[in-house]
Amino acid sequence: MNPAQIAMTKPTVHVLCSSDTPKNAIQQLLYGLEEEGIPCEAWTEEEGNALGLAWKGAQASRLEVGVGMDGQAAVLHISKLEYEKPLFQIPVRSIGQVRILGANAARLVKK
């Protein structure tokens, strides 16, 4: 299923990861979202950096929230912000912060 098809099915936070994203970072991000009870869809993109992936996810999500991750960073974006100005950008190696980023993404939806 491609991102456009997912967007048409149900409201979720979109999590897009490059192929070099550490698996434990993805897992921690998803735990953060799950703790807040917000559904998400996650998939891997062959190309793209964390900022571009987060923007793409936010634009495609019915909830207007996207997270992008690559080997270096995790980025939280919402569709109403400018491309170059994401809400949060953190190092992906900070696993505890990545989990908090997932929870913060969920809290944006709950507002």
pLDDT in tens, 56-105: 999 999 999 999 999 999 999 999 999 999 999 999 999 999 999 999 99
pLDDT at position 110: 81
pLDDT at position 7: 47
Q: What is the pLDDT of residues 26-40, one digit of tens each?
A: 999 999 999 999 999
Q: Where are the alpha helices (DSSP H) in the chain?
A: 3-9, 23-35, 50-60, 95-110
Tokens representing 23 are 């698996």
pLDDT at 1 over 70: no
Closest alpha carbon to 56 in 40, 75, 38:
75
pLDDT at 9 over 80: no
pLDDT at position 10: 82
Are 76 and 67 in contact by the 8 Å Cβ rule? The answer is yes
